[in-house]
Structure 1
């Protein structure tokens, strides 16, 4: 910052004199803008950063220690504001990325749910073409996730019968699915 600001202007600025602010702005805008332009990675945000800098000048001029050169104080403010802006931009980017990930996961979840529902519908329609004894084993095994031992207990049949019905049901399902896949069975 090359431009010198008189102590009189700074004193008036500390008293919230808008004309003093205009004088300060006119005397420093070129240097501030140039510095921010060099430091900012996103050139479209330069005007916003510069506006924030002058807002901070207005707000915090009472913190300026007049024993130090004003350009040093102003440059410190410029560098801090650019750094803060970059940090906020980084946080916004992180939030945006998290939002995109969540939306993607949500859509994937919806797709997975739809796929699961479609698979369940297909399985239910295929079960319609199966005997009750085979159906009950599949329902307990796949929908309720019972072990074969638990199924035997619930249905009050030997575990060997559960195993054979499970095997027979899967064989029957494969045949029905292949028939469905070839267009032989309609689902609905």
Structure 2
């Protein structure tokens, strides 16, 4: 495999992971570039599981940038670009409004997760990695991956239930339920 073939094979996955972790297109592009610079400076042809190795480098770069920008991190919509790319298909106004509300709600939930939990959720659902690949990528035991994923989903479920409860109380006050 040539460097070009390696880049073409993993570029989209690395960028997508960077984007979901960093929630900023420019930062994602910069980190994606840095990941491949790092990969090509190493003896990558000797790596057995190249995908897990590249994703480990990706996560390390993302987590380093998140730590570096911890205090000045801007809250930007995490899945906004998905909606922009789907704009080509015509949808009803109701569908678009519902989609944006759902997207904003998921974005808010993901932003509230600690970085360690966000990393596992991103690799599992965005990167579509298996538990074993996530463990290999993050250099943590598979049991830790499972517990972090469980904890993240539990936190998100709890927040959704709280939001739903607040919404229902608002409906009751307005007399619209």
Q: TM-score, normalised by structure 1?
A: 0.36
Q: TM-score, normalised by structure 2?
A: 0.38
